[in-house]
Amino acid sequence: MNISDNTLSVLKNFSGINQNLAVKSGNKLRTISPQKTVMAVAQVEDKFDTGFAIYDLNQFLSAISLFDKPDFTFGDKNVVVANGKSSIRYFFADESMVMSAPERDIELPDTIVEFKLTTDVFKSTLQAANVLQAPNWSVVSNGSTIEIVVGDVKNTTSNDYRVTVGVSTEEFNVTFKVDNLKMMLRDYNVAISSKGISHFTTEKGDLQYFVATESQK
């Protein structure tokens, strides 16, 4: 079989969340961070006939990058990645050696805010966090507008970056760690619960992230 560029992009993104990956049969991929602060679910165009586990996903992707448009032959214990006269036999890990994400999605109780996060806004806030060396990404409402504020919540005199993303009559202040915002750059519908969890999902629902929040006021 072939694995599409889109699926490989999802796998690359997942490798930044957890180096381990357990793949189940079908076309849904799931991963969860070692700290259990980020869970990602992707529905991809490729269908895997059998399940397998990869211990070092970055190494696996690096091995794939040695080939241009390779073909994948999956066996019980390994996959052969081949192109022309060259090939790699890559062995799977025992599933007990990798960290598997739960099979069920998380239900969001008591949602306090929902808004649309565009690719451009998301990208600009991450760039701002990098430039300012800011550890926090907050969703804040003063009872009128909803803003994303990038800064350091522990330092009242720290530089910050702000962008308006919606309106709300409620007041709230929910903080995330920038390090937990490991989503692919897409447009997302964002819902945030008062119970310390948030949900980022694309319009089609083919890509979802459940991200823990740090604090709220």
Number of separate domains in the chain: 2
Average pLDDT over residues 54-68: 96
**104 assigned to some structural domain:** no
Residue where a domain terminates, one of 72, 97, 122: 97
Residues 197, 116: one domain?
Answer: yes
Closest alpha carbon to 11 in 35, 45, 36, 37: 45
CATH of the domain at 33: 3.70.10.10
**102 assigned to some structural domain:** no
Give the three-class secondary structure for 10. Answer: helix
In the predicted structure, residue 140 carries a pLDDT above the cut 90? yes
Show the tokens assigned to 156.
Answer: 């009242």
Q: Could you give the percent of the chain with pLDDT greater than 90?
A: 91
Instruction: Give the Cα separation of 23 and 1 in Å (integer).
Output: 16
Confidence band, pLDDT 50/70/90 cuts, at residue 73: very high
Q: Which domain holds residue 25?
A: 5-97
- CA 53 to each of CA 22, 96, 169, 179: distance values in angstroms, whole numbers, following the listed order: 4, 9, 47, 25
Question: What pLDDT score does 104 carry?
Answer: 85
Q: List, for residues 183-206, the tens digit of each pLDDT value.
A: 999 999 999 999 999 999 999 999
Judge residue 177's burial from the number of C-beta atoms within 10 Å of its C-beta, 0-12 exposed, 13-18 middle, 19 or more buried. Answer: middle
Model pTM? 0.94
Q: List, for residues 141-160, the tens digit of each pLDDT value.
A: 999 999 999 999 999 899 99
